[in-house]
């Protein structure tokens, strides 16, 4: 417990001393995490096309003005203009982007595996990530640009992606989410206008309730209200590839934490990652997110709720017309919508007690896959994920017929 506590003290001091407007923090010649790639090459050109798969870049605009990047991927011998397979949308986790689905080999990465199985693969990238393209009127330097949480990612970003893909393909859409992508999915699917366009959903490390997470470092951050301190210090963007972000992680790794094992220190022990791919992983991850998003997630852990953002009593009354933020009612997800979920025994972010809470509120009975040794990241990066996770998931998805959404 001593090391996590020391790490927490360090984090508290760092954010207290270095406000968002402080640009004097030292420049580093070496960094645990490489900074964001300076050239603005596309996800298609960097990770998909070099593997021999056709890939096209798309851009959509959300109802609140954010410009999101979508990629469409076909099998090696496929034709993007004549896709016949069912459309499937992949939704990445927190501090990740659409690249997360392509960071293993072509035979191990879900994005490629789905294309090889005849799916019309669409890769989602939420606002703020490096594969998305800003806003129609706001600059990334403005705090208003970062005034969002997973609630907006569900009701605007995911909704916008589905509304773009559906008329192009004239088909209902399969949705696959990991971690934050599952929170987005659960919330969005409570909305009838979104749910009616979805054929089925497959959720990896499913999260809606978070009260029982066991990751010690995350628990310490929650209990010490680090999220509140970050916002009070003037940080609205959380970008660990910025100057302050790389400085923070390098100092933390130098002094307190074994960053070779940084993933398991936050997410739980992962059984089956390929160590030779870590350099590639950290070349692309983490992506930026908003401090408000982290604050919303920590609210959920503290309160044991699956609700909209809590602004406090007076603003809640102004925004929602009630003292507390409205809950997302999981019973509103249609009973007819097939759900498939995979969870791990070593996952310290997606806890079985919380998942049971989720399942109890659903009208339908989801198909479950339990993998005792899997941690949170194994579901997207395990060398064994194809046989353990993806093959059963694809079998489930292929059991449903071709539907056309209205």
The CATH code of the domain that includes 65 is 3.40.50.1820
pTM for the whole thing? 0.89
Pairing of strands 198-204, 339-344: parallel
13 is a domain residue = no
User: What span, in angstroms and rounded, lies between the C-alpha atoms of 43 and 29?
Assistant: 27
341: left (phi over 0), alpha (psi -120 to 50) or beta: beta
Q: How do residues 48-57 score in pLDDT, each as one tens digit?
A: 999 999 999 9
Q: Is there a catalytic annotation at residue 212?
A: no
* pLDDT at 219 exceeding the cut of 50: yes
Cβ atoms of 154 and 123 within 8 Å: the answer is no
Cβ atoms < 10 Å from Cβ of 296: 22
pLDDT of amino acid 23: 41
Tell me the mean pLDDT in the region 278-307.
Answer: 94
* pLDDT at 18 exceeding the cut of 80: no
Cβ atoms < 10 Å from Cβ of 274: 15
* pLDDT at 34 exceeding the cut of 50: no
pLDDT of amino acid 309: 98
Q: Helix, strand or coil for residue 304?
A: coil
Cβ atoms of 192 and 217 within 8 Å: the answer is no
pLDDT of amino acid 253: 60
Q: How do residues 67-88 score in pLDDT, each as one tens digit?
A: 999 999 998 887 787 778 999 9
Cβ atoms of 270 and 346 within 8 Å: the answer is yes
Q: Is there a catalytic annotation at residue 135?
A: no
pLDDT of amino acid 259: 53
Cβ atoms of 363 and 331 within 8 Å: the answer is yes
How many residues are recorded in the chain? 406
User: What span, in angstroms and rounded, lies between the C-alpha atoms of 84 and 88?
Assistant: 12
Q: How does residue 22 score in pLDDT terms, banded at 50, 70 and 90?
A: very low
Q: Point out the catalytic residue in the list 295, 310, 376, 382.
A: 376
More confident site: 68 or 268: 68
pLDDT of amino acid 24: 39
Q: Which two tokens stand for residue 317?
A: 């009354």
2 is a domain residue = no
Q: How does residue 283 score in pLDDT terms, banded at 50, 70 and 90?
A: confident
- Burial status of residue 225 (CB atoms within 10 A of its CB: 0-12, 13-18, 19 or more): middle
* pLDDT at 330 exceeding the cut of 90: yes
User: What range does the domain containing 339 cover?
Assistant: 40-400
22 is a domain residue = no
* pLDDT at 63 exceeding the cut of 80: yes
Mean pLDDT over all residues of the chain? 88
pLDDT of amino acid 36: 43
369, β-bridge pairs: 342
Q: Is the peptide bond before 286 cis (omega within 30 degrees of 0)?
A: yes
* pLDDT at 405 exceeding the cut of 50: no
Q: Helix, strand or coil for residue 397?
A: helix
User: What span, in angstroms and rounded, lies between the C-alpha atoms of 406 and 395?
Assistant: 26
Q: How does residue 262 score in pLDDT terms, banded at 50, 70 and 90?
A: low
405 is a domain residue = no
Q: Which two tokens stand for residue 368?
A: 């479950």
* pLDDT at 195 exceeding the cut of 90: yes
User: What span, in angstroms and rounded, lies between the C-alpha atoms of 200 and 205?
Assistant: 16
pLDDT of amino acid 216: 78
- Which residues, 6 or more positions from 67, have their beta carbon under 8 angstroms from its beta carbon? 59, 60, 61, 132, 133, 134, 135, 136
32 is a domain residue = no
pLDDT of amino acid 406: 45
Q: Point out the catalytic residue in the list 347, 351, 354, 388.
A: 347
24 is a domain residue = no
The sign one gets for the Cα dihedral 346, 350, 351, 357 is negative
What whole-number percentage of the chain has pLDDT above 90? 71
pLDDT of amino acid 41: 83
Tell me the mean pLDDT in the region 3-22.
Answer: 53
pLDDT of amino acid 57: 97
Which among 159, 84, 79, 83 has a CA at the least distance from the CA of 124?
159
pLDDT of amino acid 35: 41
Q: How do residues 137-175 score in pLDDT, each as one tens digit?
A: 999 999 999 999 999 999 999 999 999 999 999 999 999
Residue 90: phi and psi, rounded to 5, are -100, 130
Q: What's the domain count of the chain?
A: 1
136 is a domain residue = yes
pLDDT of amino acid 348: 93
26 is a domain residue = no
SS in 3 state form for 148-211?
Answer: CCHHHHHHHHHHHHHHHHHHHHCCCEEEEEECHHHHHHHHHHCCHHHHCCEEEEEEECCCCCCC
Q: Point out the catalytic residue in the list 74, 75, 179, 265.
A: 179
């Amino acid at each position: 417990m001593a090391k996590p506590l020391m790490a927490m003290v360090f984090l508290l001091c760092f954010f207290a001393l270095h406000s968002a407007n402080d640009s004097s923090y030292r420049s580093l010649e070496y960094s645990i995490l490489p900074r964001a790639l300076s050239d603005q090459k596309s996800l298609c050109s960097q990770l998909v096309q070099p593997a021999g798969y056709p890939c096209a870049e798309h851009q959509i605009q959300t109802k609140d003005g954010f410009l999101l990047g979508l990629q469409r991927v076909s099998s090696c011998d496929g034709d993007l203009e004549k896709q016949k397979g069912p459309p499937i949308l992949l939704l990445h986790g927190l501090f990740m982007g659409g690249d997360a689905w392509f960071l293993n080999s072509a035979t191990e990465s879900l994005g490629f595996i789905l294309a090889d199985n005849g799916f019309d693969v669409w890769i989602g990238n939420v606002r703020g990530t490096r594969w998305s393209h800003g806003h129609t009127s706001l600059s990334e330097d403005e705090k208003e640009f970062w005034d969002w949480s997973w609630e907006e990612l569900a009701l605007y970003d995911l909704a916008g992606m589905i509304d773009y893909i559906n008329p192009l393909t004239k088909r209902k859409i399969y949705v696959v989410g990991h971690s934050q992508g599952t929170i987005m999915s659960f919330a969005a699917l409570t909305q009838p206008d979104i749910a009616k366009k979805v054929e089925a959903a497959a959720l990896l490390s499913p999260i809606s309730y978070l009260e029982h997470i066991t990751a010690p470092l995350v628990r310490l951050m929650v209990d010490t209200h680090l999220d509140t301190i970050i916002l009070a210090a003037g940080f609205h963007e959380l970008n660990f590839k910025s100057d302050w972000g790389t400085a923070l992680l390098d100092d933390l790794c130098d002094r307190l934490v074994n960053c070779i094992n940084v993933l398991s220190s936050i997410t739980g022990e992962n059984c089956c990652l390929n160590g030779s791919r870590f350099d590639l992983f950290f070349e692309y991850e983490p992506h930026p997110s908003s401090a408000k998003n982290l604050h919303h997630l920590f609210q959920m852990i503290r309160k044991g709720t699956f609700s909209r953002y809590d602004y406090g009593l007076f603003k809640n009354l102004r925004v929602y017309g009630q003292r507390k933020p409205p809950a997302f009612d999981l019973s509103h997800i249609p009973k007819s919508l097939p759900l498939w979920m995979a969870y791990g025994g070593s996952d310290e972010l997606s806890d079985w007690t919380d998942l049971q809470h989720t399942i109890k509120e659903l009208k339908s009975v989801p198909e479950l896959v339990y993998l005792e040794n899997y941690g949170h990241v194994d579901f997207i990066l395990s060398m064994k994920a194809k046989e353990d996770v993806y093959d059963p998931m694809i079998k489930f998805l292929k059991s449903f017929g071709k539907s056309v959404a209205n």
